[in-house]
Amino acid sequence: MQIGKYLSLALLGVSAVVAQTQNQTQNDNNSTIYDLLSAPNNNLNASRFIGLVNSDTGYQPIINLLKNPGNLTCFVPSDGVLNKVLTVWKAYAKQHKINVTGDYPPANMSYNNYTVSDLITYHIVGDRVNLTNLTDHNISVSVVHSVLNNSKVDHLGTGLPILIGNNASYAEFHNQTWMQANGSYLEYEVGNGHDDTDVDIKDVNATNGLINIISSVLIPPMSPTTVIKEVDDLDGFEELLKKYPIIGSTLNSTTNFTLFAPASDALKKANLTGMNNDTIQDLVRSHLVEGVYYTPNITANALTNDGNTNFTTFSNITFPAYVNSTSGYITLNKTARIVDSNIFFNNGVMHVVDSIISNDTEHDHDD
């Protein structure tokens, strides 16, 4: 059974949910994550989540994770979010004459190859990740890995990633004085790099990990062709995939890569109408790099070498990347700047660039 309509409608509606007080925390050194979430009269506003995982034996592995000893970080959708999702779910089930009982979808229902159980598992990280302490590591965004690592949906084998960011600019984040004065007030968001959501309550401590209450449902990374359709400013690249299906098939079937996808305006300037099929495919290969490089990796690699690092493309061409230590801007081969970063696929990562990556250095970006 497919529930794409149910999820898309529900997620459109959750933006109206009023966020709880940011930075509200509570700690309990004697209770597990499950105990805290299911405790009567707690103020975490997550009873619907507990109702969901208790509604079907298919969710039992999730309950076991939340109850057993370990080190986890859970991103739990608030009751306001799940109430909206479940309202749409019941309408969807009724419309499609799906024979279910109760308020909750069964664990084995599917959405783009993900079961609902998979979707919930994506909200759990297999490590204790204290959001406040992320500021100690001199990076403004972090990539962590969920426990959703079955090979049917995670083609990287690392656990599908989750992006954690905050509302400080790169310059603010790297200004020690500013961070000392404002670091404790930062707001955080998490997601797949395209669909992100606010953290309403963060870093609630339990014996087996940390709880964060979030204002939407996290959607796991999906196939490149699915994701590209949803990203703003990639209409031109999407049209390219429609015209040359082999490119989309290659992206979907390849693993462990980074795509620097040219924005629509960049493709218009490239005058693709004068190129044949082989030239078009070679152009795309020149924007594909073997290996998954998130911007924290690129920045860390570059700043150990005066801001410079190198990439080798699928067309076997090596080009430099430069990271400006003041602005944080990443420029590729002096011609293309990353303008939208860390958009996750189930088999790699994408960054949107504002120009075709070429050997022409006459129009360098000012860094």
pLDDT digits (tens, 9 = 90+) for 289-321: 999 999 999 988 888 888 899 999 998 999 999
Q: Quick one: CA dihedral 86, 22, 341, 117, positive or negative?
A: negative
Taking the model in full, what pTM does it have? Answer: 0.89
The answer to the question of residue 367 being in a domain is no
Extract the tokens encoding 317. Answer: 């061409």
Report which of 317, 248, 255 is spatially closest to residue 292, judged by C-alpha positions. 255
Task: Please state, in angstroms and rounded to a whole number, the distance separating the CA atoms of residues 126 and 63.
Answer: 14
Stretch 161-168: mean pLDDT: 93
Tally of structural domains, the chain: 2
Residue with tokens 């509606």: 13
The answer to the question of residue 209 being in a domain is yes
* Residue 209: C-alpha distances to residues 30, 42, 90, 121, 198 (Å): 12, 17, 32, 15, 20
Are 47 and 76 within one domain? yes
- Point out the domain boundary residue: 190, 214, 238: 214
- Point out the domain boundary residue: 189, 214, 239: 214
Are 92 and 74 within one domain? yes
Are 158 and 13 within one domain? yes
Q: Phi then psi for 7, rounded to 5 degrees?
A: -70, -45
* Residue 237: C-alpha distances to residues 97, 120, 189, 262, 314 (Å): 38, 31, 27, 7, 18
Q: Domain limits at 197? A: 4-214
What rounded mean pLDDT belongs to the chain?
87
* Residue 16: C-alpha distances to residues 11, 44, 124, 304, 363 (Å): 10, 19, 24, 44, 43
Are 61 and 199 within one domain? yes
Task: Please state, in angstroms and rounded to a whole number, the distance separating the CA atoms of residues 344 and 340.
Answer: 12
- Give the CATH number of the domain where residue 310 resides: 2.30.180.10
Dihedral (Cα; 121, 126, 127, 131), 10-degree rounding: -20
Are 249 and 201 within one domain? no
Are 184 and 284 within one domain? no
pLDDT digits (tens, 9 = 90+) for 133-156: 886 555 678 999 999 999 999 999
